[in-house]
Amino acid sequence: MAGAAMSELLAALPEKRVIGEPPRSVSSIAGDSRLVEPGACFVAVPGFKQDGRRFILDAIRRGAAVVVTEGEPVADLPVAQVLVPSVRVSLARLAGAFYGHPSTQLTLVGITGTNGKTTTSYLVEALLRARGLGTGVIGTIQYVLGDETRPASQTTPEALDLQSMLAHMRDRGVRGVAMEVSSHALALARADGLAFDVAVFTNLTQDHLDFHGTLESYRLAKRRLFELLAESPKPARTAVINADDAIAPQYAPGGPRVFWFSRLKRVASGCYLRGEEIVFRSDGVESVLLERKIIGLRGSHNIENVLAAGTAVRLAGVEPAEIAEGVRTFAGVEHRIEYVATISGVEYFNDSKATNVDATLKALDAFPGNVLVILGGKDKGSDYRILRQALRSHARMALLIGSAADKIEADLAGVIPVERAGTMARAVEVASRSAKPGDIVLLAPACASFDQFDSYEHRGRVFKQLVRELEKEHAA
């Protein structure tokens, strides 16, 4: 990247106060003083532990030519400074301008909600690919940038990284991008300034209260995606919303079109389940997209994911036959009710992505009964009592791991037998001894993973490795 004219960057900031004479151009933008290079624009981002303003002088020593900050002016700086109301919002807007607003040249589908984001995003990507488009995915598992894959450090990257990746895709012929948009990213303005074509709302249940504080704050963070959709310059921008979620009407934006999806009822516009058919309805005309029987994913929640993705891509011009073929060949996503092995008549499934109570409910609902479920990890302020009825109906034993075990055991007292396994290895061992032919051993923790694992992916891989070792022992 050759750099950008300062006038173009300043034009991206609607509210600003410029002190001093800014350079005519900047070589790069950095939100971390350690990454500043000569001629850069340093954006002093307030962090959770450190205030970026503390590093302004360090950034200037490293060659910063201009500084963007909020609050009062910093005295006696040898370079120009730009004062803004919100540094985080400004960083997102500056990043977009620096990389030439790549999202305006892509079909960008943003997906938010408590659960279903990852599977829906991969479905959207697969269905856009079925249309013949070069595609990408930005989300929890990894960042797929056309034919290049990068490890994902966050569900939604920081604004500079996000815009850089979108520009990378644009420049290499990608035309359709499915993007998970997390509540953290929305609260921290990482997605501000993006030009969304479609914004999808999957559902809202209790999660991330350790970050947001209240369910209302969490709800408002999710709603921000639809405010960004309303600001998008795309002429056919559309919201796609789960009509079966009680809170859904609060997400319907005032400006863009709204399409719905439902597993339970007919919708005026969008996708719904009609008997054994998934039907798309628009302007009073209905067309069958696919037969339910070709969906290879377990659980009613995955019907909802197909409905959401089908609506989004039909609006993007994907034909019914292409949607049906894409769904038929979609193999699912790792760590989402992922089949691992059958050992002595017992099936083992990895749903490590079930990092909240609602996801665990959906995982349990995917099986008729006889489940031995592994629960636990790092608590996120959840109420595990919500699991009681589902456990009575679907499970016959719970094996607890991690730091939330005390709270989970208290919340589930008297429901089903509970075993304090402590570790994943012990949980798999006890489950294998206790399970009978026809049973299901399911990892669906309802918790974050960070007390014992690096990530939910790490947790899922450990579970799968333990099961495969068990499989080898039984085969010997």
CATH number (domain holding residue 70): 3.40.1390.10
* Boundary-marking domain end, from 65, 98, 131: 98
Task: Tell me which residue has tokens 């339910």.
Answer: 292
Mean pLDDT (whole number) for 373-394: 96
Flag whether pLDDT at 206 surpasses 80.
no
Residue that is last in its domain, among 307, 328, 349: 328
Tokens of 403: 């730091």
Q: Are residues 306 and 165 in the same domain?
A: yes
Same structural domain for residues 132 and 279?
yes
Residue type present at position 76: D
In a domain, 50, yes or no: yes
The count of domains in the chain is 3
Question: Do 369 and 459 share a structural domain?
Answer: yes
**Domain end among 98, 130, 159:** 98
Let me know whether 407 and 446 are in one domain.
yes
Is a pLDDT exceeding 60 seen at residue 209?
no
Answer yes or no: is 361 within a domain: yes
For residues 369 and 255, membership in a common domain is answered with: no
Q: Which residue has the tokens 């999957």?
A: 202
Q: 């006890």: which residue's tokens? A: 430
Do 314 and 422 fall within a single domain?
no
Q: What is the pLDDT of residues 92-121, one digit of tens each?
A: 999 999 999 999 999 999 999 888 899 999
The tokens of 425 are what?
């290895």
Residues found in the chain: 476
Cβ atoms of 445 and 375 within 8 Å: the answer is yes
Tens of pLDDT, residue by residue over 249-307, are 777 767 679 999 999 999 999 999 999 999 999 999 999 999 999 999 998 899 999 99
Structural domain contains residue 272: yes
Same structural domain, 308 and 184: yes
| Spatial distance between the Cα atoms of 459 and 443, rounded to a whole number of angstroms | 9
pLDDT tens digits for range 395-454: 999 999 999 999 999 999 999 999 999 999 999 999 999 999 999 999 999 999 999 999
**Phi, psi dihedrals of residue 68, rounded to the nearest 5°:** -110, 125
Nearest to 201 by CA among 353, 279, 308: 308
Q: Are residues 266 and 120 in the same domain?
A: yes
**Does 120 share its domain with 49?**
no
Residue with tokens 């600001």: 231
Answer yes or no: do 187 and 84 share one domain.
no
Residue 244 has pLDDT above 90, yes or no: yes
Using CA atoms, how far apart are residues 202 and 103, in angstroms rounded to an integer?
22
| Angle of CA points 353, 354, 357, to nearest 5° | 155
Which ranges constitute the DSSP H helices of 232-344? 300-315, 320-328
- What CATH number is attached to the domain comprising 175? 3.40.1190.10
Question: Does the pLDDT of residue 212 top 60, yes or no?
Answer: no
- pLDDT above 90 as % of the chain: 81
Three-state secondary structure call for residue 63: coil
Is 333 inside any structural domain?
Answer: no
pLDDT of residue 79: 96
Element (H, E) at 61: helix 56-61
- Verify that 127 and 242 share a domain, yes or no: yes
Q: Which helix (H) or strand (E) holds 460?
A: helix 456-475
Judge if 297 and 404 occupy the same domain. Answer: no
Tokens 């089903």 locate to: 416
Within-domain flag for 293:
yes
pLDDT for the residue numbered 63: 97
In a domain, 53, yes or no: yes
Q: What is the pLDDT of residues 454-465, one digit of tens each?
A: 999 999 999 999
Question: Could you report how far apart the first and last alpha carbons of the chain are, in Å?
Answer: 57
Mean pLDDT, the chain, rounded, equals 93
Q: What is the pLDDT of residues 220-232, one digit of tens each?
A: 778 889 999 999 9
Domain that holds residue 75: 4-98
**Residue 54 is which amino acid?**
R
Q: Which residues make beta-bridge pairs with 338?
A: 350
Tokens of 153: 């450090």
**Quick check: is 36 in a domain?**
yes
% residues pLDDT > 70 (the chain): 96
CATH number (domain holding residue 397): 3.90.190.20
With respect to residue 282, please indicate whether it lies within any of the assigned structural domains: yes
Task: Report whether 109 contacts 309 (CB < 8 A).
Answer: no
